[in-house]
Amino acid sequence: MVQAEWNVVQDAYESNNNKKYETIFTLANGYRGLRGSLEFSKIGNQGNFIAGIFDKSKSQVTEIVNCQDPLVLNIYFEDELIDFDKCLVLHFKRYLNMKEGILYLKSKIKTPKGKIINISTERYVSRENVHRWAAKYTISCENFSGNMFVENMIDGNVANNSYDPSSILKHIFIEQAYDMSPGIALISSTLEKHIKIIESSALISGSYDCIQSKFRKYRQSDDKVCELYQIPIYPNTKYEFYKLGCTYSSMDCNDIADSCKYDMASFIAYGYEKEKSDHISSMKDIWSDIDIKIDGDERAQVGIRFNLFQLSSSAYECGGRVSIAAKGLHGEGYKGHVFWDTEIFMLPFFIYTMPDIARSLLLYRYNTLNGARKNALANGYKGAQFPWESADDGLDVTPKWGLDYNGKLMRIWPGEEECHISSDITFAIWEYYRATLDKEFMLNFGAEIFFDTANFWKSKVEYNPIYDKYEIKKVIGPDEFHEHVNNNAYTNCLVKWSLKKAVYLADWVKDMDIKVFEKLCAKLNLNNNDFKQWDIIQQKMYIPCANHGKLIEEFEGYFDLADSCITRYDKNGMPLWPDLKGKNYSETQLVKQADVVMLMIMLGDEFDYESKYKSYKYYKARTMHKSSLSPSMYSIMGVILGDTRNSYKYFMKTVLTDLEDNQANTIYGFHAASAGGAWQSAVLGFGGLSVDKYMMLNFNPWIPDFWNSLSFNIIWHGSKISVKIMHDKILISSSKDVKIKVFSKEYTICSKKNYSIIK
């Protein structure tokens, strides 16, 4: 029996929760995601998403494609279709075993005609072979005999935005359906870019040999293809069968039909159970790198593991072809677009646990650099301007219009104004480099991004001769309540940091490989005057502040706005709107999400304790946390400043974002950035991990009184470091010799030895 802290459980069936659990029970492997649809209900938002397959057609902007649905399985007993919404559900338990990466269902139902049936299922999306997925079904009846009809179907009649009648759009058309015998296949093509996708599936007998070819019928109609089996059944007898699936697209290979047919034949020969065993073995290896153990708090333990499971399922090493969307591969929220969320919130998890995947995610940005250059040119700038919302080519795909909190149509400005993402990306590249020392990446990819975004900032900033300062006007910072502002502190500080680092890298690249340096200068049309200008700009960048520089002003003029502090909270502990006295929230000091506080975490060495304390105290009282990205940052800063009670509260809001649906939008997909924030809250917050200006790893941990211990692993300079934090000591081991600091004292951790450091 698997321990409770490894399971996410749904112990009652209510159809109004189907869409939420489809997200929570999504199974993904980075290549694709299958929403956790229940085969025996027609209520929900089906989703089959393959990373990197986007289409625009007649939609407002390019969006991820909802591909043909391979999960459909209809079971009839004589003329009664098993539909949980029309049957009496006598028993229901559905649970995600995160340790194995398998979704289970155990149920008993009574049909309208009185038939009592037991149904058990299990499903996995393989982490061993990303093109495969499978399900197992065990059926028994209690009070009747007759015929069971099992219909295996692939449904091509799917569309995006099925939850919004005004935006429903089908992005695929069916090219071909055919009988694989055994199995069926359906090939579709996207409307605009003509990317081909093949889904195939086959029903295979289990140990009771209930599937027999002589009872099989193949059928094709409209956009659907199916195979139907007739099975004689008897009371109190188990009938077991498997559904095996294979998926390919023209982004994988040229002949998708042959590749799929070959893989399906291999899968059938290899068998469900062997592939399942390989999948579980792969999950074991993954957990050995990513697991965080919290002893003494089962709710937190389940929560953090859920976030780690789903975040690690959202990416795989694919050579930089795709990145991670804001909603993972779990739903259509934000149209499957990639934001700054990936670099600032998700990437640290991958850098410190799966650095090869982190490298691939950063290569996506390099591979879309030409799109970033086109964005800059279109907006009247030089260099590379990374898009606020990105799909497959690096061009900005931010919608121009959307709905506000009151359901009113509003203009969406981040595509034009939320330009800090270009520095967010360079910040993430440096985070990756200092943790991995991957010089080859920095020389061949990272430096070019630093230099070309520096070119962009050089053309973006404006010189103010009165104050002898450089400014960035008409922007949106992380706090999206306030648009068209001047000199957002987060934006300006990150630009200052990025330009300073670009100047440093110019000398570093020159020293490392003069030919690479000369090639970059020729490619980007750079000379010494450019490097000097970058340095001048960063030295004279304007940073708004008050109180002798100790309280950072979020943007120029922020302190002049009407002040409103938060005093009320909802049942989930989330802030409620204070009385705005007739003003719009943009006219007040209310903040959507962490902005200044996040800046002080990212550039920790740039700010002293007093600045952090004053800014944290001030903005905590005004931050509405209307983004799931926000609580994790306050959790980390709470630990740093000793506000431990609130730190734990923010941590729990973060890890339970989807499990408790505290943002009320889990139905649209997984909060991937929040999951990255959960890892950061645990490791950077409670674990106290940071990297100082000398590029040395530091630990300054604190754990709640009722936790017995906190354990995690990280990868640092190629060494796997294991950390266990208790109230009286810290246990550390490393696979290689490494120097670290614990509570500011330096230690040399020798390989394969356990060190106990007394607090």
Residue with tokens 């991995």: 436
Read off the tokens for 403. 């709905």
Scan for tokens 């520095």, then name that residue: 423
Q: How far apart are CA 297 and CA 309, in angstroms?
A: 18
Q: Which residues contact 95 (CB under 8 A, 6 or more apart)?
A: 7, 8, 9, 10, 103, 104
- Of 418, 480, 554, 556, which one is the catalytic site residue? 480
Query: Nearest-CA neighbor of 553 among 630, 637, 489, 497?
Result: 489
Around 747, how many Cα atoms within 13 Å sit in the side-chain half-sphere? 23
- What crossing angle do the helices spanning 298-312 and 644-655 adopt, rounded to 10°? 50
DSSP class of 321: S
Give the rounded distance of the alpha carbon of 61 from its chain centre.
Answer: 21
Distance of CA 552 to the CA centre of its chain: 30
Which stretch of DSSP H or E encloses residue 347?
A: helix 347-353
Q: By C-alpha distance, which of 442, 549, 441 is closest to 489?
A: 549
Looking at the DSSP bridge assignments, the partners of residue 239 are 139
Q: Is 480 a catalytic residue?
A: yes
Q: How many CB atoms lie within 10 A of CB 79?
A: 8
Sequence-ordered list of residues with C-beta below 8 angstroms from that of 43, at least 6 positions apart, any chain: 15, 18, 85
Q: Are 542 and 471 in contact (CB under 8 A)?
A: yes
- H-type helices in 271-297, by residue range? 272-290
Q: How far apart are CA 709 and CA 262, in angstroms?
A: 49
Looking from the CA of 334 toward its CB, the CA atoms found within 13 Å total: 25
Q: Is the dihedral of CA 635, 639, 641, 647 positive or negative?
A: positive
Answer whether 49's CB lies under 8 Å from 69's CB: no
The helix (run of H) or strand (run of E) holding residue 645 is: helix 644-655
Q: Distance between CA atoms of 628 and 170, rounded to whole angstroms?
A: 30
Looking up tokens 């938002």, which residue turns up?
45
Tabulate helix, strand, coil % of the chain (nearest 5): 35, 25, 40
| Residue 427, phi then psi, degrees to nearest 5 | -60, -45
Token couple for 685: 């917050």
621 CB burial (10 A radius; 0-12, 13-18, 19+): middle
Rounded CA-CA distance 370/349 in Å is 27
Contacts of 298 (CB under 8 A, 6+ apart): 4, 5
| Residue 407 contacts residue 418 (beta carbons within 8 Å) | no
Q: What's the rounded Cα separation, in Å, for the pair 648 and 635?
A: 7
- Residue type for position 518: E
Side chain identity, residue 116: I
What SS3 string covers 453-491? HHHHHHHHCEEECCCCEEECCCECCCCCCCCCECCCHHH
- Closest by CA to 104, choosing from 206, 25, 190, 12, is 25
Pull the structure tokens for residue 197.
């996708």
**Residue 185 in contact with residue 153, Cβ under 8 Å?**
no
H-helix or E-strand spanning residue 650? helix 644-655
User: How many alpha carbons fall within 13 Å on the CB side of residue 277?
Assistant: 5
Catalytic annotation, residues: 480
